[in-house]
Amino acid sequence: MKKIYAVNGSPRKNGNTAQLLQKALEGAASVGAEVKLIQLADLNFSGCRSCFACKKLANPAPGCVLKDDLTETLKELLQADGIIMGSPIYFGAETGLYRNFLERLFFPMLRYTNPPSSRAEKRIDFGFIYTMNVPENVMDEYGYNAYLQSQSQTPGLIFNSRNIHTLYACDTHQFDDYSKYECTLFDAGHKAEMRKTQFVVDLAKAFEMGRKLAE
C-alpha cells in the first residue's frame, strides 16, 4: 500500500489550500493509498539554522538533526511514496511557514558532491498545490509562473521524482462576507461566482492529482 502525505503550508487549517489538499488525499485513498494530512500551523518549528550538521561526514542518517515538532514528521515523510505540498501565495511566493518546512525537508538531503547528489534513500513523487488571489491570466505578468515552475524542479534532484504534478487555484474566494473588509480591489460578486464555478473544477483536479500519485 502506497503512503501519500499532504502538507498544508497555510495558516488557515480549513481554507482553500487545505480543502484542495484534502480532496487530493481523497483521490489517493480512492485507489487504496494510506493518506495523512499534516497541518504545519499545528507544529512549533523553525527553518534551517545553517548548522551544516547534515553535511558532516560523521552524520550517518539522512535528514535534519534539529529536534522540535517537525522532527518526527520529517521522518514520516521520508518514508512516503508521494508528498503533496500546498501553500497560498503571499507577495509572489509561498508562506514563511511553508518555506521553513521546505528548507528542513530538502536541504539535509542535498549532498555537496560534484556533481550534486542526494542522500534520500527512496524515490518520492510530488504534487504542488498553490492558491492565490490573482487571476490566472496575470500570473506571467507578476512572475508567478517562472518562480513556481522553478520550485517543482527540486524534487527531481533530491528525491528522483518522475511523477510531479502542479495545480494553480487562481482568483480564489477569501472572505465569507466581503462587506466586512476593506477590499474594494475585488468584486465580491465575481469572487462568489468563481467559488461556485472554478473552485469546484480545482477540487476535481486536486482529486485527480492524488489519484495519479497513488497509482
Q: Tens of pLDDT along 163-184? A: 899 999 999 999 999 999 999 9
**What's the Cα-to-Cα distance from 94 to each of 64, 91, 122, 215, rounded to whole Å?**
21, 8, 26, 28
DSSP 92-118: TEE-HHHHHHHHHHHGGGEE--SS-EE
CA 7 – CA 18 distance, rounded (Å): 9
CB 134 within 8 A of CB 171: yes
Q: What is the pLDDT of residue 66?
A: 95
Predicted confidence (pLDDT) at residue 61 exceeds the cutoff of 80: no
Give the tens place of pLDDT for each residue, 111-144.
999 999 999 999 999 999 999 999 999 999 989 9
Predicted confidence (pLDDT) at residue 60 exceeds the cutoff of 80: no
In CATH, 3-214 is 2.40.10.10 = no
**What's the Cα-to-Cα distance from 195 to each of 23, 63, 174, 199, rounded to whole Å?**
16, 40, 10, 5
Task: Give me the amino acid identity at 163.
Answer: N
Predicted confidence (pLDDT) at residue 155 exceeds the cutoff of 70: yes
* 151 — pLDDT class (breaks 50, 70, 90): confident
Sign of the C-alpha dihedral computed for residues 58, 161, 126 and 169 taken in this order: positive
* 14 — pLDDT class (breaks 50, 70, 90): very high
Of 65-74, 144-153, 194-203, where does mean pLDDT reach its minimum? 144-153
CA 181 – CA 159 distance, rounded (Å): 43
168: three-class secondary structure by DSSP? strand
Give pTM, 2 decimals.
0.95
- All three cell numbers of 118, joined, read 542526494
Domain coordinates in residue numbering, the chain: 3-214
Q: What is the pLDDT of residue 58?
A: 83
Partners of residue 127 on adjacent β-strands: 84, 165
